[in-house]
Amino acid sequence: MGFTFDDVSLVIDGTAILDRVSLELASSGVTVVAGPSGAGKSTLLRMCNRLEVPTSGSIRLDGVELTTMDPRALRRRVGMVFQRPVVFAGTVRDNLRVADHRVDETGCGAALARAGLDAEFLDRQADDLSGGEAQRLCVARSLLTEPQILLMDEATSALDVDARLTVERLARTLADSGTPVVWVTHDLDQAERVGDLIIVMLAGRVVEDADARRYLQARSFEPNASGEPPDQ
């Protein structure tokens, strides 16, 4: 189950954004992809619903090549929440119906409840929501498509502490209820809080497990003086 990356590379203008990445993602729980800015982690995530396409290699979802799948159908199976909340003009209800125009009042309320918001938000203007509320609206909207997997790309980096922890708890609840989450972050403390599995990326490559543990223990992506992972 989940995604399988097989020797995936992305080269743009001669620069390798991803370099021969092979891994498995989102079979269950919360999988964190951690790394500094420019490591390739967001590109990796965007490839999971074909917002980016590899230069070489293959990506499969449950054994099926993504290139053979209709992008719109794929994106209903694989929801995505971006770094900054994307809300549309109108009410919260209007925003939810962007995902499913047939959803009724009960369904809208249920989607909000899963994201930790009350049904009373339905008549609120989406533009008036706080950052944390808007991000939870985005999660609720994604959940209306009943995704098989939810992707979260630095989804709390623009939020205050309370809102950040709320979204982290939401990801945990979703994963525990059977919706795997792939969570991208540059914050190693957050990675430890939310991740069942933590994958570390540097310079477009996946770091070996032993070295990844050293970066996590050091709470830093900086190598030591010899260019190796930090000493334990």
User: For the whole model, what pTM was predicted?
Assistant: 0.90
Does any domain span residue 224?
Answer: no
Does any domain span residue 230?
Answer: no
CATH value at residue 166: 3.40.50.300
Does any domain span residue 225?
Answer: no
Does any domain span residue 229?
Answer: no
Q: Specify whether the backbone of 190 is left (phi greater than 0), alpha (psi in -120 to 50) or beta.
A: alpha
Residue 129 reports pLDDT greater than 90: yes
Non-local CB neighbours of 192 within 8 Å, separated by 6+ positions: 198, 216
pLDDT computed for residue 230 by the predictor: 82
Number of domains in the chain: 1
Domain of residue 142: give its range.
3-62+70-218
**Where does the pLDDT of residue 232 fall: very low under 50, low under 70, confident under 90, or very high at 90 and above?**
low
Does any domain span residue 228?
Answer: no
What's the pLDDT tens digit per position in 156-174?
888 888 888 888 998 999 9
Does any domain span residue 223?
Answer: no
CB atoms within 10 A of CB 196: 13
